[in-house]
Chain A
Amino acid sequence: MQAREGEMADHMHTVPEEALKELPPAHKALGKLGRALLARFPVWPIVDFLRNKKVPEHRHAAWYMMGGLALFFFAIQVFTGILLMVYYRPAEPWQSVQRIVMEVPYGNLMRSIHHWSANLMILTLFLHMFSAYFMKAYRAPREGTWLVGLALLGLCMAFGFSGYLLPWDDLSFFATNVGLTEMEKAPGLGPWLASLLRGGPAVTTDTIGRFYVLHVVVLPLAVLGLIGMHLLFVQIQGMSEPDSFAALPACQKKHKKFFFDYFASEIPVWLAAFALLVALSAIWPRALEAEADPFGAAPLGIKPEWYFLAQYQALKLFPGKLEYAGMALMGIVPLLCALVPFFDRAVPSDRRGTWIERAGVALLVGFVVLTVWGWIS
């Protein structure tokens, strides 16, 4: 008993005086609760860290919101995804999705939000990646954050690819078929990986089992872990400052407190993002096509989702034997992106920085042009 009290006293000791001063008066319920909690869980340094978290204020600061926005959409994905899992049955995929869409109250809304939020999440991730690239946020010491971020983008695209099959309608069946066939053509691990994902020589309901587990267990665990790392890195290293801001003398650098000044200015953006999501889902709910018929003809005008269109169009540009060149390009671009932090020596006057900027512009323009081209052709 004595020893326990001594331990408690030790913990009490770790809470600094000013922490208690910040709380409401000791006789009020909130103050009592706060003191009791702090005594048991002396997390004051974390609270204190967050209270002092600052965000640089400059004209490119709006881009800092993209990461938070992507996280917001991811949270909505987790939430609506859990709800969809309540009624989804991998053994009767199309029938269960049809039930969600046609019978379950608000099921159509949940599915549409899940669909639109996925698209908006990937769009924000692209914006987040390109803004980090052009603000040179990848440079030392933030190489790790950049690499984890690239991995997150890749995993989210895998999320999209695996989720697309699950409704088992005409579109999803053939999109998966095409995607896996392309993967199969890749030299080396391609055929092996494709057949492992497919679970056999053809896309069947067996493939659904694999994609389902990927989509609801493997990928969420991996993404949650990586998001944790990504956020932890950002907290430890602080927000990256663009060159123009970093070059300012210390007295001219303006910062905003994260809580609640910066946070308060983010709330309207989140509200708008949510309203956009609801508007898209209400006005253009996601349709469910006819059930997949593995022996039927592919539906008219079938195309992959927009975030795969650039790759799809690029592969079309390399017909026949040249297809390998196209695939090599698919592999080289992400690899180069991953290598950028080790190539850029972080000296503002260095010529390499300029080259990296130009390469980034070329990549962005190429991506947009190929996507639009794929869309209209």
Chain B
Amino acid sequence: MNYPIWDVGGLGAGLVVAIIAIIHVLISHVAVGGGAFLVVAEIWSRRQPDGQRVRDWLHTFATFFLVYTTVLGATTGVGIWFSVQLASAEAISLLIHQFVFAWAIEWVFFLSELTVLYLYYYGFKRNTPRMQTFLAGAYFVIAWGSLVVINGILTFMLTPGAWTIENKDIAAGFFNPGYFPALLIRTVTMFLLAGLAGFLVASRIRDEEFKGRIIQFCVKWVIPGAILVPGLGYWYFTTLPASTVTILAGGTVGVVGGTLSALTRMAILAGVAGTSLVLGTLVFAAYPKTVNTIAAISMLLVAQLGIMGAEFFREMGRKPYVIHGVLYSNGLWVKDAKDPARLNGPYLEKAKWHGGVASGTLAHGEQVFRLQCASCHTRDGYRSVVYRTRNWTAGFGSRWLGTMHDMGVMPPFQGDALDKAALVAYVLSLRGETVDPRDLLPDRQATAQGDDLDPDGSGQALPGLEVAGAEVGR
């Protein structure tokens, strides 16, 4: 509540971050794995009868590699910075304060990585093969180093482990329970992706015999990862906090549709993506000369879908937090939520960027929406609030806001009865209903008509509020 909010129309800030991030994950892992690919290919080329030809092809690969990693990788990387700090400034502030040194190291790694990559790329004509191998090796070590660093910060957000806001134990937060499984997954994945990128570059080779050899070389990079990643994913899963496991595996309303838990869906997707990669790669091994651009891109698409699924379900498991057990997704600190006076006091007095709206108006409601809902929900686009509240009556909303945290996936609401009433009135106004927030206050409601949707006032008896599989794209 200390920062303004980024209001991204029908997409929502979260979706913008997600779109940029899954592209960046693909490219950054190709960038690291590609380093190892270059080293091994350099060494392999010296044992080939036509080593110079292999190195010439490596030059083509490096061109592709340089352009993709530096242009797309760097722009999406900066894009992540831009979008995440706007989407959840509170969280980024905490991460920077905790891990400023780690990020400084990562930045040094990034600069050195680019420098060495340029030295390697422009040294193809000048340097000896031995020197080139050394440069590629240096590039790989540095690039992997940046992964080692960023992985600590990324895994911290879901599994802070022994780190607490009181002890601020940076080492415990960095080497958190999820650190090593995630590091191994990322390392195996990057080899896999390097092989897939190799297919793409090799698909344009005209000489069939040579193309066949390069394809066979790439095959060995893909197979281990495609088999290992789903299994390693299970190891990572075992390190997750209990509340995350409950959300992913259990029957939380709204997240899980009937018998099909998020965990099952994730496992099916991981299994299909992994086996599709293995099968496709074996087809490439059997018919190397048929590998064309479309086929190679198809395999990259499969990998991208796997990454997308992994990220989606990890994000789902992080609910209702941004940083697990520390900061809620609506910018509320868990420590503050434990203080009822702070949690239930008037919200506008605490929020700093509400634009000076008058209390008890629709504009008040809109500000509450922006500051407390908009980091995950949109008005009527992705994760639409209008859709999710389609069965709300005027009286129901306020009570539901009071108990939504009990569902497990929603953070607690911050504010008093008037804040709730203003938000409900605003949400109802989005579908064209005109309600004065002050009419929704509990003392007025008591005299008004009873609420047939929720007779016991528990806020839980709303039929059709969140139906099966409601984690739909609306």
Q: Which residues of A contact B (CB under 8 A)?
A: 62, 65, 98, 101-109, 112, 256, 260-262, 264-269, 271-272, 274-276, 278-279, 281-290, 299-301, 376
Q: Are A268 and B298 touching (Cβ within 8 A)?
A: yes
Known contacts: A102-B259, A104-B259, A261-B287. The answer to whether A287 contacts B470 by CB under 8 A is yes
A265-B295, A289-B464, A301-B380 known; A275 vs B302 contact (CB < 8 Å): yes
- Interchain CB contact (< 8 A) of B301 among A108, A275, A301: A275
- The answer on a CB contact under 8 Å between A264 and B286 is yes
Tell me the interface secondary structure of chain B in the complex.
helix
Given known A106-B260, A289-B467, contact A278–B287 (CB-CB < 8 A): no
Contacts of A278 in B (CB 8 A): 268-269, 272-273
Instruction: Sample 13 A-B pairs with CB under 8 A, ordered by A number.
Output: A106-B259, A108-B260, A261-B290, A264-B286, A271-B302, A272-B276, A276-B301, A284-B472, A284-B473, A285-B471, A287-B472, A288-B469, A300-B386
> Taking the complex as formed, is B368 at the interface, i.e. its CB lies under 8 A from any CB of chain A?
no
Q: In the complex the two chains form, what is the Cα distance from A57 to B109 in whole Å?
A: 45
Q: List, in ascending order, chain A residues with CB within 8 A of B10's CB.
A: 376
Q: Which residues of B contact A299 (CB under 8 A)?
A: 390
Q: How far is the CA of A265 from the CA of B293 in the complex (A)?
A: 10
Q: Say yes or no: A276 contacts B305, CB within 8 Å.
A: yes
Q: For the complex, is B312 an interface residue (Cβ under 8 Å from A)?
A: yes
Assess A98 versus B390: contact at CB under 8 Å? Given A265-B290, A279-B269. no
Could you tell me if A274 and B386 are in contact, using CB atoms closer than 8 angstroms? no
Give A3 to B312 CA distance when docked, in angstroms: 70
Task: Across the interface, name the chain A residue whose C-beta is closest to B474.
Answer: A287
Nearest-CB residue, chain A, relative to B262: A282
In the complex, what residues of B have CB within 8 A of residue A284's CB? 471-473
At the interface, yes or no: B87 with Cβ under 8 Å from chain A? no
User: If A103-B258, A271-B276 touch, does A112 touch B469 (CB 8 Å cutoff)?
Assistant: yes
18 additional A-B residue pairs with CB within 8 Å, beyond A98-B468, A282-B265: A101-B469, A106-B260, A108-B260, A261-B290, A266-B295, A268-B298, A269-B295, A269-B298, A271-B298, A271-B302, A279-B273, A279-B308, A283-B309, A284-B472, A284-B473, A285-B471, A288-B467, A299-B390
CA distance A301 to B384 in the complex (A): 11
Residue contact B305 to A287, C-beta cutoff 8 Å: no
Q: Are A271 and B380 in contact (CB under 8 A)?
A: no
User: Cβ of A287 and Cβ of B468 under 8 Å apart?
Assistant: yes
Contact B467 A271 (CB under 8 A): no
B249-308 interface (Cβ within 8 A of A): 257-260, 265-266, 268-269, 272-273, 276, 279-280, 283-284, 286-287, 289-292, 294-296, 298-299, 301-302, 305-306, 308
A262 with B290: CB separation less than 8 A: yes
B469 engages A108 (CB within 8 Å): yes
Alpha-carbon distance between A276 and B474 when the two chains are bound, in angstroms: 19
Closest Cβ of chain A: how far from B296's Cβ, in Å? 8
List, in ascending order, chain B residues with CB within 8 A of A104's CB. Answer: 259
A290 contact set on B, CB distance < 8 A: 391, 463-464, 467
Q: Mark B452-471, 1 if CB is under 8 A from A, else 0.
A: 00000000000110011111
* Contact A101:B468 (CB < 8 A) given known A108-B257, A282-B309: yes
Identify which of B265, B266, B286, B290 contacts A109 (C-beta below 8 A): B265
Q: Which 7 A-B pairs have the closest CB atoms?
A: A102-B258, A285-B469, A272-B298, A282-B265, A264-B287, A108-B260, A268-B295
Q: Which residues of B contact A65 (CB under 8 A)?
A: 294
Nearest-Cβ distance from residue B291 to partner chain A, whole angstroms: 7
Chain B: minimal CB distance from A306 (Å) = 12
| Cα-based distance from A272 to B302 in the complex (angstroms) | 5
